[in-house]
Structure 1
Amino acid sequence: MTSLLSQPTTSRAGALLAMSIARPLPLLSTRLPYPLSNRSFSTSKPRKISHFDTYLFVEKLEKNGMTRKQAEGVMSVLAEVVEESIKGMESGLVSKAEQEKQRYTEKVDFARLKSELQLHEKNDLSLMKAENDRLMTDVEKLKQRLREEVTRTQAGVRLDLNLEKGRIRDESSQQELKIKEVDTRIESEIAGLRTQIEQAKFSILQYLVGVATGSGALLLAYMRMMVSFHVSFGDLE
């Protein structure tokens, strides 16, 4: 009895059980107004399916000192408690059909999700492929433009180098011509100086010859005059 009372019950079932135990029922004769069937009790209400052996439970209560009426009351209350407990547990459980329905719904949802993911993956792959193709096209265009720019730059550099080489050659030719002109002018100046030096030498030589000739003539004239003077002075003596 103590083990039965220690089980969890609902508030209504617990109250019924406590009232049946606390309040003694009137004693009746052992002969019941209705026949008892094997392991079940007949009442005016429709017969319910018991979840435990009611007949054996009543016998155990009678052996523990209860009367038949008290034992039947406790059994009825306990049956209601058990029935309500089972109904409460069944309300929280899911039936097999609902479980199968839930499983089928989950399978359908999973299949739909899988198809959507595959579709998104295909779309993403298509978008990525298109974007990759567009990027590759842009890269090829950039490469082509870069090659054209490099070729144009190389051609411009070659043209500038050729023009610079031609200008340097022209300047070199002009410098060579100027150098040749300077050399020619220097040579002509040197030749003129040589001619002038030769003329100066000849003039100096002519001057020296004239001076020497004049000096000799003067010396001869002086000697003649001295000789004539001596001769004249000798004659006077």
Structure 2
Amino acid sequence: MDNVSQTFVSKPDIQKNEMMQEVALQKLSAEIQNAQEYKISLTQRDVERIKTDIEKMRSDLRYEIDKVTAAQRLDINLERGRTRDDLAKQGVETSELTNKLDREIHLLKTQVEAAKYEVIKYGIGTIVSFTAVGLGLLRILM
């Protein structure tokens, strides 16, 4: 019986062993739960950090887009102003050329009128001279 009693474990030993295993299991469960809570808190912190980074990137992107848009608007407005200035300059040059052409045309008309007057004057002088010569010849011949 000694052999048999040595092979089997007594009930108080089993209960003691069960209690030790339960305590070890509870400790393990608590450690696992603590580890899970720690991992969850780390994950939540990482998620919050990533959200913050994303929001910062989003605001930086908005700022850059606004900056580029404003720069393009400024460039467009400057180009419009330059175009307006160029058109005004061309308008002034066109007006100056038109005035110059008008002056030259008026001068040419004046010169044509003066030349016409000279032609008429010399034509009348020539006719009067021929008439005088003709009358002089007529008087000599008669």
TM-score by length of 2: 0.79
* Number of aligned positions between the proteins: 139
Aligned CA distance change for structure 1 residues 216 and 114 (closer, same or farther; 3 Å): same
Q: Out of 106, 110, 120, which is 1:191 matched to?
A: 106
Kindly, what percent of the aligned residue pairs are identical?
29
Question: 1:175 is matched with which residue?
Answer: 90
Q: Does 1:124 align with 2:39?
A: yes
Gaps in structure 2 of 5+ consecutive residues: none
* CA distances 1:106-163 after superposition (whole Å, capped 9, x unpaired): 4344333322221111111100111111111112222222222223333322332222
Question: Which SS does the other structure have where 1:192 is aligned?
Answer: helix
**d(CA) in 1 for partners of 2:95, 2:56:** 57
TM-score by length of 1: 0.51
Aligned CA distance change for structure 1 residues 223 and 112 (closer, same or farther; 3 Å): same
Aligned CA distance change for structure 1 residues 100 and 225 (closer, same or farther; 3 Å): farther
What does 1:19-30 align with in structure 2 at a 5 Å threshold?
none
Gaps in structure 1 of 5+ consecutive residues: 1-48, 50-85, 228-237
Q: Out of 63, 66, 77, which is 1:151 matched to?
A: 66
**d(CA) in 1 for partners of 2:27, 2:37:** 15
More helix per residue:
2
**d(CA) in 1 for partners of 2:18, 2:66:** 70
Work out which of the two has the higher radius of gyration on C-alpha atoms and give 1 or 2. 1
Question: 1:161 is matched with which residue?
Answer: 76
What does 1:23-172 align with in structure 2 at a 5 Å threshold?
95=9, 97=11, 103-172=18-87
- Superposed CA RMSD in Å reads 2.6
The letter for the 2-side match of 1:195 is: T
